[in-house]
Amino acid sequence: MFIKKYLVIIPGIILAFVLYSLSQGFNNVIGIEFFGYEKSPISTAMIAILLGIFFGNFFKVRNSFQKGLDFCREYVLKLGIICLGIQLKPFEFLEFGKIAIPLIVICIISVLIVVKLLIKKLQIPTRMAYLISIGSTVCGTTAIMATAPVIKANKQEISYAVANITFFGILSMLLYPYFANFYFDGNSLFAGLFLGTSIHETSQVAAAGLIYEQQFNSPETLNIATVTKLIRNTFLIIMIPLFAFLYNRGLAKEKKYSILNIFPYFVLGFVGMIILRNIGDQAFVKLDNNFWIETINLTKFFSKVFLTMAMAAIGLSTNLKDIRNMGYRPFIVGFIAMLTVGIVCILTIETYLKFLI
């Protein structure tokens, strides 16, 4: 009975993995073969959810796959987020963080305030607004996927938020490198801070930094943008519990509210992985450092696989008719969130950072 219970999830897991493999193949062909980049600037997760939406809407997904797809959306997703922590080395960011962290905090607070006002003005679902705002301010699709379980967002809301963030992220990825060079007059520090703070996805930030480096011969900008984005990603640890608290507090009418009931415990695994990375970096420096590097790379690889499988599962379970029924208002929120984080970033650099440095 125990074995049979878990055998039913295998078909859905295999289907999600097949879509991951297809997404990775398309990503390599489009980003590397077609555009000629050494590393594709296109998000594999984005391709996975688009493929999932396509197959899920043009072909009927059998019921035998559903339990496995549900497992991917809930548990494989969380495992991917935990593994993601291995890439973060916050102790290395302390010196640079003195500059980047105030900028990131100001941008996050500004977007949250703007989105809060837009919820009332445009009358959009609170969960949708939370997903769009955390995707805009922290780390794009990963933040959306990590926040969705703790605010109980449904798959249509997740898909809409991901599509929203993906569209505006790609738009800013293509335009912001040229704008940053023009506006900041070639200042690599300010341009890197702007790219790392105002573009949604880690892959999009890397792509924008690479475009800047190739166009304006500034490898420093690529490095600064990447480090800024990784610092930004660490705010996931704070934002997920915060959003869980804000959302669930309003729902707790009949029973006493408790943070323990809604706290996303997989975040502890994420923090644990960061600690493990820093301990390992110190321990293996005198031992087998190559083994530790391979372990880090393997964990990063599995994180990408798990997250992309979860994205594919989300796409397969998404009904485009339901998304269409949500209307244009969440799209407006995404656009305003993108503008807000960009404008606030510029104003903060102009009024604060220029005097600090």
Minimum mean pLDDT range among 77-86, 189-198, 317-326: 317-326
Q: How far apart are CA 341 and CA 109, in angstroms?
A: 10
Task: Compute CA distances 215 → 39, 179, 219, whole Å.
Answer: 16, 12, 10
- pLDDT, tens digit, for every residue of 276-303? 888 888 877 667 678 888 888 899 889 8
- pTM, to two decimals: 0.68
> Which of 84, 6, 29, 30 minimizes the C-alpha distance to 308?
84
Task: Determine the average pLDDT of the residues in 324-353.
Answer: 84
Q: How far apart are CA 14 and CA 22, in angstroms?
A: 12
Task: Give the pLDDT score at 5.
Answer: 66
Task: Give the pLDDT score at 182.
Answer: 93
Most confident by average pLDDT, 205-219, 261-275, 314-328? 205-219
CB neighbour list of residue 325: distance below 8 Å, 6 or more residues apart = none
Q: Which residue has the higher pLDDT, 243 or 113?
A: 113
Two structure tokens written together for 254: 């009949």
- pLDDT, tens digit, for every residue of 130-170? 888 888 888 787 788 778 888 888 877 888 888 888 788 87
> Which of 267, 217, 219 minimizes the C-alpha distance to 242?
267
- 257 sits in the region (left: phi over 0; alpha: psi -120 to 50; else beta) called beta
